[in-house]
Amino acid sequence: MSIKVGIVGATGYTGAELVRILSRHPEVELVSLITQNYADIPFWEVYPHLYKYNQMICEKLELTALLDASDVIFVALPHGHAMPIALDALRQGKKLIDLGADFRLNDYSVYEQWYKVEHTTRELLSKAVYGLPELNRKEIKGARLVANPGCYPTSVLLALAPLLNRKLIDPGSIIIDSKSGVSGAGRGLSLGTHFCEVNENFKAYNVGVHRHTPEIEQELSKLAGETVTVSFTPHLLPLTRGILSTIYAKLSKPVEQGEVLEYYQEYYLEEKFVRVLPGGLLPQTKWTAGTNHCDLGVALDSRTGRVIVVSAIDNMVKGASGQAVQNMNLICGLPEDTALNGPGLYP
């Protein structure tokens, strides 16, 4: 019996990536592709690369019909829009995976401070599970509401979890330098992502005020068992897909590079989507493009007493839609890697 899936926000970049992945998922039947701007238009006319892979017609949101038709609902909308959908979905016993930020932060006041939107379904926050499978697999399996992590936080949390687990670093010393491809800004038009602004350019943005900061700090604090405050600076790269995070932290005790690498290999030994690269090999965005992998590389700077971790993901897959499908597989009792296996494209 197939899982009936509806996608709200199907014609954004993350929604389209969900359609691409789920169109080849052997246990899924797509039943609704919801869009605000392309109702009554075949989905493949919006995204011709999916011609003959998906013949569905885009629809406007009719919440009752969506809930009646679906077992699992993905919401791929900007922050603030998933709350009313989630409320009705959970009332009707449906499962919902939110790719936005509405349920990532445990404290509604922190959400309101950083996102400047009132949280209207505060009662659901205690029911939401933070959907990073490598850290929260057990909780995700029993969840009905999953908060899919942000792209930057995914790259950072997977990079730092082994170090915090072993208490090898000073949690107050973490500096995160992250770079993202332009698709992370979404499909909407803006001057900042215009070709002429981005091409042959490289810039920092939202320095000290990026909305993923409290999410990163919240989850790192859980890993560390104490409050963690980080310096996080995102940058925009002139490429379509990919995130590369370079993370620096002060070692809390002397350790050899080989030992640290062994810690990482042991920590992620059973993980299908985290690849700990051999010593001397550092991740590149092209190596993860189109995949649900997170590649990790570790180096020690003995002169400064710091450890440097480099993390690479595809922001559209492991940073968004691929991880959302990974979460769906878990909550539906399917093999976690269903429809997500395989290497990426190169070059």
- Does a cis peptide bond (omega within 30 degrees of 0) precede residue 48? no
**What does the buried/exposed string (b/e) look like for 20-32 if buried means 16 or more CB atoms within 10 Å of the residue's CB?**
bbbeebebbebbb
Q: Is 151 a catalytic residue?
A: yes
pLDDT value, residue 189? 86
Strand partners, 308: 248, 299
Query: Distance of alpha carbon 213 from its chain centroid, rounded?
Result: 14
Catalytic residue among 58, 151, 196, 294: 151
CA distance 284 to 205: 21
Residue ranges in 32-132 assigned as alpha helix (H): 43-46, 63-69, 83-91, 108-115
φ, ψ (nearest 5 deg) of residue 246: -110, 120
Domains of the chain, by residue range, sit at 3-126, 152-315
Strand partners, 296: 276, 311
Q: Was domain 152-315 assigned CATH 3.30.360.10?
A: yes
pTM of the entire structure? 0.97
pLDDT value, residue 1? 75
Contacts of 152 (CB under 8 A, 6+ apart): 178, 180, 210, 212, 216, 232, 234, 243, 245, 319
CA distance 347 to 289: 10
pLDDT along the chain (347 residues), means of 10: 95 98 98 97 98 97 98 97 98 98 98 98 98 98 97 98 98 98 93 94 97 98 98 97 98 96 98 97 98 98 97 98 98 98 91
Contact 17, 321 (CB under 8 A): yes
Q: What is the CATH number of domain 3-126?
A: 3.40.50.720
